[in-house]
């Protein structure tokens, strides 16, 4: 049978695409894209005329079956998303898991990912990190997700939309305190790429200082809570967690 290639594409700067990605996108029989019109621009830029079909959140389960039929007939297909690495807060999970079940070969082509791009230049600890994708939109679920970070010791990485970024940082201040260190990375690989780092309150003040600071695409990173120097045992911590649940 054919192969499904998972191909990372640029997150802003069109130069951020590998030689291998361009070759595979040229050679495959079909490219499945999240938004065919959006991806057409990238393909035109590189003179690639491979046929496009759509695969997005709303048609994925049905489209995946059709694509697997084609793969079984020997066609090679590339999956791309609007930006960055497919499946990372983007469609494709259904297709890849079904390919694995059906015994269809899946080959990843590594490239840009906003989370990793942000993390590697933020200056926060990178030995351990948690990728959280987008926070829940609903207030209570969002609050609970942030509260889980109170005792998180590794760096947390979030995607956030420009519409919600200031509100989210306001909630980070409320739930984790104004002193928690964080980094706001925006417009990565683009002309107005910016890293703002400071404590949560300073980041909020910066975002609120100018409407332009809230425009564009964002990755939010929150430093891990410093591990207590006074060695508290796991048992004591678990007991503390239990007791905290009982507090009003």
Q: Does 84 bind ligand SAM (CB under 6 A)?
A: yes
Report CA-CA distances (Å) from 185 to 77, 219, 222, 247. Answer: 33, 5, 11, 36
Min. distance of Cβ 11 from ligand SAM in angstroms? 4
* Per CB under 6 A, 155 contacts ligand SAM: no
- Binding ligand SAM (rule: CB under 6 A), the pick from 60, 64, 67, 85 is 85
- Candidates 48-56, 124-132, 147-155, 182-190; binding stretch for ligand SAM (CB under 6 A): 182-190
Q: Which of 54, 151, 189, 199 binds ligand SAM (CB under 6 A)?
A: 189
Binding test (CB under 6 A) with ligand SAM, winner from 113, 125, 145, 202: 113
Based on the shown chain and the rule CB under 6 A, indicate whether residue 160 belongs to the binding site for ligand SAM.
yes
Q: Which long-range contacts (CB under 8 A, 24 or more apart) does 54-63 make?
A: 55/79, 55/91, 55/92, 55/95, 56/91, 57/91, 60/91, 60/92, 60/94, 60/95, 61/94, 63/32, 63/95
Q: Percent helix, strand, coil in the chain (nearest 5)?
A: 40, 20, 40
Paired tokens of 90: 């983007």
Cα gap 118→246, rounded to integer Å: 38
Window contacting ligand SAM (CB under 6 A); options: 48-56, 98-106, 109-117, 204-212:
109-117
Candidates 79, 83, 95, 176; binder of ligand SAM (CB under 6 A) is 83
The distance of closest approach from Cβ of residue 119 to ligand SAM in the complex, given in angstroms and rounded to an integer, is 11
Q: Distance of CA 154 to CAs 49, 56, 159, 239, Å?
A: 44, 32, 17, 22
List 17, 188, 207, 223, residue binding ligand SAM (CB under 6 A) = 188
Helix (H) or strand (E) holding 238: helix 234-246
Q: Which of 2, 12, 92, 224 binds ligand SAM (CB under 6 A)?
A: 12
Q: Which residue, 85 or 156, has its beta carbon nearer to ligand SAM? A: 85
β-partners of residue 220 are 158, 184
Tell me the number of residues near ligand SAM by CB under 6 A: 24
**Can you give the binding site for ligand SAM, defined by CB under 6 A?**
11-12, 81, 83-85, 88-90, 113-115, 159-161, 185-190, 217-219
């Amino acid at each position: 049978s054919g192969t499904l290639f998972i191909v990372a594409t640029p997150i802003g700067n069109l130069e951020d695409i590998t030689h291998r990605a361009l070759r595979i996108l040229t050679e495959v029989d079909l490219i499945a894209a999240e938004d065919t019109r959006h991806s057409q621009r990238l393909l035109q830029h590189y003179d690639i005329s491979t046929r496009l079909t759509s695969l997005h959140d709303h048609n994925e389960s049905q489209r995946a079956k059709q694509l697997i039929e084609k793969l079984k007939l020997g066609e090679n297909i590339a999956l791309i998303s609007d930006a960055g690495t497919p499946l990372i807060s983007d469609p494709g999970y259904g297709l890849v898991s079904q390919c694995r079940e059906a015994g269809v070969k899946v080959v990843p082509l590594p490239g840009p990912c906003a989370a990793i791009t942000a993390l590697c230049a933020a200056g926060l600890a990178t030995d351990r990190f948690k990728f959280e994708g987008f926070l829940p939109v609903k207030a209570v679920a969002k609050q609970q997700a942030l509260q889980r970070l109170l005792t998180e010791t590794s760096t947390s990485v979030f995607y956030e939309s420009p519409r919600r970024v200031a509100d989210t940082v306001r909630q980070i201040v409320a739930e984790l305190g104004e002193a928690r260190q964080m980094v706001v990375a925006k417009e990565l690989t683009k002309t107005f790429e910016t890293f703002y780092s400071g404590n949560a309150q300073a980041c909020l003040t910066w975002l609120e200082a100018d409407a332009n600071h809230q425009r564009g695409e964002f990755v939010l990173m929150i430093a891990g809570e410093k591990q207590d120097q006074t060695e508290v045992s796991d048992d004591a911590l678990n007991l503390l967690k239990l007791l905290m649940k009982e507090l009003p």
